[in-house]
Structure 1
Amino acid sequence: MRLTFLGAAGTVTGSKYLLEHEGRRLLVDCGLFQGLKVLRLRNREPLPLDAAAIDAVVLTHAHIDHSGYLPALARQGFRGPVYSTPATRDLAGLMLPDAGHLQEEDAAYDNRHGLSKHRPALPLYTEEDARQSLRLFQPRPFHEDFEPIPGVRLRFTRAGHILGAASVHVAWDGGTVLFSGDLGRDDDVLMRPPEAPPAADHVLVESTYGDRRHVEADTATVLAGIVARTAARGGIVVVPAFAVGRAQALLHLLHELKQEGRIPDLPVFLNSPMAADATEIYHRHRAEHRLDDQQSAGMCRVARIVNSVEESERLNRLRVPAVIISASGMATGGRVVHHLKAFAPDARNTILLAGYQAAGTRGAALAGGASQLRIHGEDVPVRAEVTSLGSISAHADRAELLAWLGRLPRPPRRVFVTHGEPVAADSLRQAIEERHGWPCTVAEHLHAHEL
């Protein structure tokens, strides 16, 4: 078995791992690169193999950095099956067309306003391309072996993180390899904790937070304080939130805080039709998360759903305290960018970051204390309070990653550290070697290894 890293090596995005066995090719994850321009440009570069030569794709979960390249792959000629859990298929049915639609919208906006160096600016793929790729999905349940390519057996185990997220165990006559996928947390607001990993000869582990611990804080209390102090000064809380996972956690917390009278009864707007639909999918798959029927229903009704572009534009004229939750989570695109343009210049308002912010994104710039943001060709001043809710992260931190590895039934021959910025990845490598004494390698882009 040959493993090649086609993404998520030296970065937290673009997850793609190519397995080659006896002339067959299996791609584990098919994600978009995000963040720094040098990474985003990789999305436009040809893969080092013919897309039509890939026999099957396996997705760990539906986030765009793990699934968002799939329509482009299909556009290039991939016609094989795409395996995922049922909930991942349901979420991908929302996220991939939305990604295509946003790319079309962004290209059209750039063309109207002359903001692109390309004439014309073109999307990587369209909404229709994404819908066509959804026909390739063949969902499989957790804990059931199946054969994506001849001679290779695969099984999904629960990874936490978001609905449907899985670790992927791959077995063949010569050995086994385990892909952690993105691992959730033991005390996540929504999701149940990751399951113990099965034994494997080789393990790929994510390292998004491989160099740090999450803040030990009561998430609800911190959120209540942010909302209350912003409302007291007549401001608006703008939350760039991932439409799947963080948006639902925030809606649940806001509903609970309102019910308990811990925040004012101010309006909450969910300005992401996809996030609204994703919330309904969470409601349907209640067996996979912690919320009971009543809590799940409350999560669905706490916010007013904003559907049309006209309604979204009207939100920018709000002058009363409110909470606006809108995608994208790292402020790389989508409707939240327009809200940042409208509300960042006013010191009464708050920008609340509620997830990991990859290098090169507007979210990372805000987290780093930027005094202005470049939006639609303009420099927008940032006078609003900028804060983060680190305790709501959906990613395991350093200690939780090490604990998950420690639950392996036997030591692996080698661990590959992936899906992390260079410092985080190497920090986790050192920690694994020190704690467990296992051979450990940090993944490098386009490097191949014989397993």
Structure 2
Amino acid sequence: MDNYVIIHFLGGASVVTGSKFLLETSEKNILIDCGVFQGLKNLRELNWSFLPVSAKVIDVVLLTHGHLDHVGYLPRLVKHGFNGKIIGTAPTLAISEIILRDSAKIHEEEAEKANKDKYTKHQPALPFYNLVDAEKAISHFQAEVTDKWISLSKHIAYRFQYNGHILGATFIELDINGKRFVFSGDVGRFNDYLLHAPKKPEWADILFIESTYGNKLHDTENIEDILSNLIKDTINKKGNLIIPSFAVERLQTLMYLIWKLYQKNKIPNIPVFIDSPMGNRVLELFKHFPEWHKLTHSDYNNMCQHITIITSYKETWKTIDDKRSKIIIAGSGMVTGGRVLTYLQQLIDIPSTTILLVGYQAEGTRGRQLKDGVHEIRFFGKYYPVKAQVRSIESLSAHADQGDLLNWMTNIKNIPEKIFLIHGELNALDAFRLKIKDTYNWNVTIPKLGDVEKIIL
């Protein structure tokens, strides 16, 4: 084997989204994650560009987990000529199937609506990928277990390790000719409501670590009190509590919290509607993969019986017309699309409406605009006045904060040769760089999008 690895930072470098890291070796070319860029328009437009490397030369894709910004580019990769295996844990691939089919459908619907209502500069507007493209990508999926070294070639092996965050999520260890490359993926919380604590790497020669909250500690706010007060306030105002939610993990956590509040008599029996087809399908996976989470079979069933799952667009409108105070949890979490837009279109200009944001809101998303206090917001080609109250709970995030990230590194026995900070906005990356230096006296690199780095083995 040649004595070097060339790393291509194709996404997730100096930005939070678009995770793609290509390791070029003489035996295999390995892509870690294959996500889309989200947020600012200039980032989203990168999704339409061809990769600076040919998809045909990539031999295998290893997935840390199933979020869109880690798997959403897979159909394009296959369309551009990738013909290898896409490997992840069984729940990661199950979630990825759901997400790719759902996003393909949304891409098709948005292109159709843009053409019909003529709010596009493209003639015609085309979907980023369609259902056929998604199915072709899914046909490349291969599930593997955790905690076991699996050979890719003579001198290369990999291992998945449990990482919390969402169902199926792992960090990836790659042994390349005796040198350990560790990709954190997205690290979960050590005190998550539904998931077990992440495992920790014990050796890392080259470490790639996410920095989404590298400059923050999650608030120690009492989430149960905040939620119960918001719900009671909603009932007093005879209004609606709309919670835009990520379909994977966040939605299920909210269901659990609201059900627990009712169990503890902290809230009345207010109607709770879940309007997220993708979220419903992910909820089913909790039943199929019980070893990946903390919920008992009994708690899962009771939680599901407490809420109403909306299964059709007709039911969406019936819910909007329902005059009762209610809680509506709908996708998407950053208000970038999905069913939540239909509710906001009808209810965002009503003062008795409360919008609760429950996680990271990337730059350029409607969620960030709402969090920053905009007086009007645009979707479906029109502006809508924001008269609803907007609240935010960041401590429900499935991402590790700075303290958790530092904790995640505590079992590493050696001093890494290289540490690359990835998945962060620039202020978070720089703050985390200084914190690592102060805590461990390790040198840190912050790669930029498109950077290429050569590692001597």
Q: Same fold (TM over 0.5)?
A: yes
1:375 aligns with 379
Q: Is the CA contact 1:252–1:298 (under 8 Å) kept in the aligned structure 2? A: no
**Aligned counterpart in structure 2 of residue 102 of structure 1, from 89, 102, 106:** 106
Per-residue deviation, residues 174-214 of structure 1 (Å, max 9, x unmatched): 51110000001111111111101130101010000111110
Per-residue deviation, residues 18-60 of structure 1 (Å, max 9, x unmatched): 0011053110000010000000000000001111211010110
| 217-226 or 52-61: bigger deviation | 217-226
Letter in 2 for 1:393: S
Q: Is the CA contact 1:283–1:297 (under 8 Å) kept in the aligned structure 2? A: no
Q: Determine if the alignment matches structure 1 residue 391 to structure 2 residue 388.
A: no
Q: How far apart are the structure 2 equivalents of 1:175 and 1:404?
A: 20
1:202 aligns with 206
Q: Is the CA contact 2:13–2:449 (under 8 Å) kept in the aligned structure 1? A: yes
SS at match of 1:108: helix
2:79 aligns with 75
| 144-153 or 303-312: bigger deviation | 144-153
Q: Determine if the alignment matches structure 1 residue 279 to structure 2 residue 279.
A: no
Q: Determine if the alignment matches structure 1 residue 37 to structure 2 residue 35.
A: no
| Equivalent runs, 1:168-179 vs 2, <5 Å | 168-179=172-183
**Aligned counterpart in structure 2 of residue 311 of structure 1, from 308, 315, 320:** 315
Q: Is the CA contact 2:352–2:388 (under 8 Å) kept in the aligned structure 1? A: yes
Q: Determine if the alignment matches structure 1 residue 121 to structure 2 residue 125.
A: yes
2:142 aligns with 138
**Aligned counterpart in structure 1 of residue 364 of structure 2, from 348, 351, 360:** 360
Quick one: structure 1 residues 39 and 117, their matched pair in 2 at CA, closer, same or farther if it must change by over 3 Å? same
Identity of aligned residues (%): 38
Q: Is the CA contact 2:274–2:309 (under 8 Å) kept in the aligned structure 1? A: yes
Q: Determine if the alignment matches structure 1 residue 400 to structure 2 residue 381.
A: no
The size of the alignment, in residue pairs, is 451
Q: Determine if the alignment matches structure 1 residue 239 to structure 2 residue 243.
A: yes
> Following TM superposition, by how much is the alpha carbon of 1:410 offset from its aligned partner in structure 2, in angstroms?
2.0
2:301 aligns with 297
Q: How far apart are the structure 2 equivalents of 1:301 and 1:136?
A: 36
Per-residue deviation, residues 121-152 of structure 1 (Å, max 9, x unmatched): 11110122112211111111110111235531
| Equivalent runs, 1:174-253 vs 2, <5 Å | 174-253=178-257
Quick one: structure 1 residues 300 and 174, their matched pair in 2 at CA, closer, same or farther if it must change by over 3 Å? same
| Equivalent runs, 1:75-94 vs 2, <5 Å | 75-94=79-98
Q: How far apart are the structure 2 equivalents of 1:418 and 1:249?
A: 26
**Aligned counterpart in structure 2 of residue 321 of structure 1, from 316, 319, 325:** 325
Q: Is the CA contact 1:280–1:300 (under 8 Å) kept in the aligned structure 2? A: no
Letter in 1 for 2:50: P
Point out where structure 2 has 5 or more consecutive residues left out of the alignment: none
SS at match of 1:440: coil
Q: Is the CA contact 1:240–1:336 (under 8 Å) kept in the aligned structure 2? A: yes
| Equivalent runs, 1:333-348 vs 2, <5 Å | 333-348=337-352
Q: Is the CA contact 2:9–2:450 (under 8 Å) kept in the aligned structure 1? A: yes
2:420 aligns with 416
Q: How far apart are the structure 2 equivalents of 1:52 and 1:314?
A: 48
1:111 aligns with 115
Per-residue deviation, residues 364-415 of structure 1 (Å, max 9, x unmatched): 0011111111111211111111111222110000111111122212221121
Q: Is the CA contact 1:56–1:149 (under 8 Å) kept in the aligned structure 2? A: no
Q: Determine if the alignment matches structure 1 residue 50 to structure 2 residue 54.
A: yes
> Following TM superposition, by how much is the alpha carbon of 1:218 offset from its aligned partner in structure 2, in angstroms?
2.4
Q: How far apart are the structure 1 equivalents of 2:93 and 2:439?
A: 37
Q: How far apart are the structure 2 equivalents of 1:140 and 1:369?
A: 45
| Equivalent runs, 1:150-161 vs 2, <5 Å | 150-161=154-165
Q: How far apart are the structure 2 equivalents of 1:441 and 1:337?
A: 39
Q: How far apart are the structure 2 equivalents of 1:299 and 1:25?
A: 44
| 359-368 or 254-263: bigger deviation | 254-263
1:24 aligns with 28
TM-score, structure 2 length as denominator?
A: 0.97
Point out where structure 1 has 5 or more consecutive residues left out of the alignment: none
Quick one: structure 1 residues 149 and 344, their matched pair in 2 at CA, closer, same or farther if it must change by over 3 Å? farther
Q: Is the CA contact 1:248–1:299 (under 8 Å) kept in the aligned structure 2? A: no
Q: How far apart are the structure 1 equivalents of 2:229 and 2:135?
A: 42
1:445 aligns with 449
Letter in 2 for 1:319: K
| 123-132 or 392-401: bigger deviation | 123-132
Q: Is the CA contact 2:39–2:363 (under 8 Å) kept in the aligned structure 1? A: yes
Q: CA RMSD in A?
A: 1.2
Q: Is the CA contact 1:218–1:391 (under 8 Å) kept in the aligned structure 2? A: no
2:11 aligns with 7
Per-residue deviation, residues 241-296 of structure 1 (Å, max 9, x unmatched): 01011000001111111222211211111111111111110122121112122222
SS at match of 1:441: coil
> Following TM superposition, by how much is the alpha carbon of 1:86 offset from its aligned partner in structure 2, in angstroms?
0.8
Per-residue deviation, residues 334-363 of structure 1 (Å, max 9, x unmatched): 111111121111111110111110000000
TM-score, structure 1 length as denominator?
A: 0.98
Q: Is the CA contact 2:27–2:153 (under 8 Å) kept in the aligned structure 1? A: no
Q: How far apart are the structure 2 equivalents of 1:254 and 1:334?
A: 22
